[in-house]
Every structure is written in C-alpha cells, then in structure tokens.
C-alpha cells in the first residue's frame, strides 16, 4: 500500500480524493448501466407487494398505528427495498470481482483500506438513494401520503444504506463463490428483513417474540423510516437512529479491518 507522499499529484492531504471518487463512480456506474435490473426490477417488486396486499387484504383491514394498512405498509416496503439493494450492490461487486479475479484491479491502486471502504459504500448508498427517491415519489403520488419528517427520513435511509452496504461488503469478503453468497442472502439477510416489522407492528407479536425483533438492527431501520414518513413508530426514533448509525459504524469498522488485513481478498 502506498504512503501518502508517494502519489502527491493524486492526493490532497492524507486522502486520495481522486482515487476515492473514481472508485465511487465505478460502483455507481455498475448499477446505472443495467438500471432495468438494478433499479426498475426492485421498484416493480415493491409495487407488486402493495398491489397484492391491497387486493388480498382490501379496505376492511383494521388501521395499524392509526393509519390505513397500505399507508402503514408503504414506508416499510420502501425501507426494506432500500436496504436490500444497498446490500446487493456491495456484495455482488466484491464477489464478482473475486470470482473473476479482477479484485486485483481494486487492490493495486494507491487506495487506503478506509478509502476502499467508503468507495464501495458510496455505490451501495447511491443505489439505495436512487431507489428510495423513486419509491417516495410514487408513494406520495399514489397513496397521497406526505413526508412527515424529511430530515429523519434522510438520516435513516443514509444510515440504513451504510449499514447494509457494509454488511454486503462483509458477505462479499467472506464468500468465495456465488453459492456461499446465496446462502448468506437466503438464510441471514432475507429472514432478518422479513422479521423487521415491515408488514406488521411489533406490538402485534407475542411477548416472547418481541425481544428477538428488537435486537434486529433492520427493525430500527424499518421503524425509523416509517417514523420519518408517517410520524408514527414502535420505538423511540432517537434511540432507533442511534442504533442504526452505531451498527453502521461498527460494520464499516469491521470491513476496514478485513481490508487492512487482506482477509480473503488476496488471490
């Protein structure tokens, strides 16, 4: 790894801003070049969820937290789609580059472990914001719901995108082939996402299950996003935001350590 002084024309102070920007740009162009698959498909999936629930449940479903069920459901679906795609962007980038052997193209440039961490996270968060913005616009137009607390919504989308992006990086670092990545997604990420309160209020669960839901960071991402959009939540939004950002910082720190040590990255 190069020292800060070795590439003076490319560095400003202690950070290789040009290299960091280039890595972020590459990671964002990955999903933008195939937007039909990476952006349109998740939007269609979220729309189908809303359509199926509106047809199957109908208008007779009792309000949840004082809101019609579809209004309650929409912010949760938005946040679940956002975090799943942040995870998918970073995990697919790393596992693909490892399987094809092109990971050396990322390891060789004069990028520090911290710069690499934020470079990959920039792609995951960028994809999360693209999808989240479109979903919020659609939600406002179709359901007539406004955004109760825009700043809180921004904080939860950013923190949730960073946490799941870092989790995707950890999965991509650990997995050595696509089968292992599929196992992590199917047996860890998907169950945690569906047990996060997306489709229900946690108070509707039996008392014995509620503690298990409340230790799931995804619950606070979903619940916090719902507070930002609707102004209602199962948890204290300040506590939820602290948990989300604490989990994001911890996950990013573990990623930085793995990259610094070259754990399962070097050919």
Q: What is the mean pLDDT of residues 81-107?
A: 94
C-alpha to C-alpha distances, 7 to 2, 13, 110, 250, 264, nearest whole angstrom: 8, 11, 8, 30, 27
Asked, for residue 129, whether it belongs to a domain, the answer is yes
pTM above 0.75, yes or no: yes
Asked, for residue 60, whether it belongs to a domain, the answer is yes
For residue 259, name the pLDDT band (cuts at 50, 70, 90): very high
Range of the domain at 122: 16-261
Residues 52-92: tens digit of each pLDDT: 887 777 667 788 888 888 899 999 999 999 999 999 999 99
Asked, for residue 97, whether it belongs to a domain, the answer is yes
pLDDT at 262: 92
**CB crowding 76-90: b at 16 or more within 10 Å, else e:** bbbbbbbbbbbbbbb
Q: Which two tokens stand for residue 79?
A: 């946040």
Cβ pair 72, 64 in contact under 8 A = yes
Asked, for residue 266, whether it belongs to a domain, the answer is no
Asked, for residue 174, whether it belongs to a domain, the answer is yes
pLDDT of 1 strictly over 70: no
* DSSP per position, 9-74: TT-BTTB-HHHHHHHHHHHHHHHHTTHIIIIIHHHHHHHHHHHHHHHHH-TTSPPBTTB-HHHHHH
Asked, for residue 8, whether it belongs to a domain, the answer is no
Least Cα distance to 91 among 162, 168, 176 occurs for 168
Looking at the structure of the chain, the number of domains it has is 1
DSSP letter, residue 202:
G
How far, in Å, CA of 24 to CA of 39, rounded?
18
Asked, for residue 253, whether it belongs to a domain, the answer is yes
Asked, for residue 176, whether it belongs to a domain, the answer is yes
Of residues 19 and 58, more confidently modeled = 19
Residues 221-244: tens digit of each pLDDT: 999 999 999 999 999 999 999 999
In the chain, the N- to C-terminal Cα span, in Å, equals: 16
pLDDT at 211: 85
């Amino acid at each position: 790894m190069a020292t800060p002084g070795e590439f003076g024309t490319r560095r400003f102070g202690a950070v290789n801003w040009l290299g960091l920007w280039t890595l972020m740009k590459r990671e964002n162009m990955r999903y933008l070049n195939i937007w039909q698959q990476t952006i349109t498909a998740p939007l269609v999936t979220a729309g189908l969820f809303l359509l199926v629930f509106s047809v199957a449940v109908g208008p007779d479903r009792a309000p949840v937290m004082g809101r019609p069920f579809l209004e309650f459901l929409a912010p949760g679906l938005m946040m679940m789609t956002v975090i799943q795609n942040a995870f998918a962007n970073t995990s697919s980038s790393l596992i693909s580059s490892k399987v094809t052997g092109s990971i050396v193209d990322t390891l060789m440039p004069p990028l520090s472990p911290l710069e690499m961490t934020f470079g990959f996270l920039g792609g995951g968060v960028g994809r999360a914001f693209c999808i989240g913005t479109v979903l919020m616009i659609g939600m406002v137009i179709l359901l007539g719901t406004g955004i109760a607390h825009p700043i809180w919504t921004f904080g939860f989308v950013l923190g949730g995108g960073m946490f799941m992006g870092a989790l995707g990086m950890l999965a991509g670092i650990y997995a050595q082939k696509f089968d292992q990545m599929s196992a992590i997604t199917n047996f860890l990420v998907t169950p945690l996402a569906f047990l996060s309160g997306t489709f229900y209020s946690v108070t509707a669960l039996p008392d014995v299950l509620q503690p298990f839901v409340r230790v799931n960071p995804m619950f606070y991402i979903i619940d916090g996003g719902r507070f930002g959009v609707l102004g209602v939540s199962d948890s204290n939004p300040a506590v939820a935001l602290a948990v989300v950002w604490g989990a994001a910082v911890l996950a990013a720190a573990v990623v930085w350590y793995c990259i610094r040590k070259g754990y399962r990255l070097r050919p």
